Amino acid sequence: MSERATDPEFDECDCPAKVDAALERTEPGAGPALLWLVLDEFHPPAVVLPRIKRGLRSRDAQTRANALQSLGHFGRLHRNVDVESLALLRGALRDRTPLGGYQLRGYADNAADDIGMFVPRHRLPRWLRRRHAGPWRPRRLRR
């Protein structure tokens, strides 16, 4: 039997309804619950991405930081991010809110690097490609 089936902590974090409730109440555990939801392969992107966007709009800096981490993981896992999430990411890149000795824009920078690395270049806006693009993959030469 898997660890997931025996550990009650997993049941607290991965249910989309519980993540919604935690985000609504701005609980301290809302950010980690969001990360669990993103990293759980059983939830489709249509379930996960709206909750990431809610986390990015949270008043709590820690929840926003975890939502930025979640957005980076989402881009890595699904190789796609929508326009609204990219707009929220762009705003977070200028966020100087202090969090544990760092600024929130550092978390946004890491998320942008993940998205630039794993999402195909043609799906990224120019501002992200210029600063956070992953490796250049040249096209094959035609003969």
pLDDT tens readout for residues 18-27: 899 899 998 8
**Sequence-distant (≥ 6) Cβ neighbours of residue 104 within 8 angstroms:** 61, 64, 65, 68, 92, 95, 96, 97, 98
Name which residue leads in pLDDT, 140 or 49.
49
pTM of the model: 0.84
Give me the pLDDT at residue 90, please.
Answer: 97
For residue 12, name the pLDDT band (cuts at 50, 70, 90).
Answer: very low
Q: How far apart are CA 64 and CA 27, in angstroms?
A: 12
Give me the pLDDT at residue 2, please.
Answer: 42
The two tokens of residue 92 are 């977070």
In percent, the amount of the chain with pLDDT more than 70 equals 85
Q: How far apart are CA 41 and CA 31, in angstroms?
A: 18
pLDDT tens readout for residues 95-130: 999 998 999 999 999 999 999 999 988 899 999 998
pLDDT tens readout for residues 60-73: 999 999 999 999 99
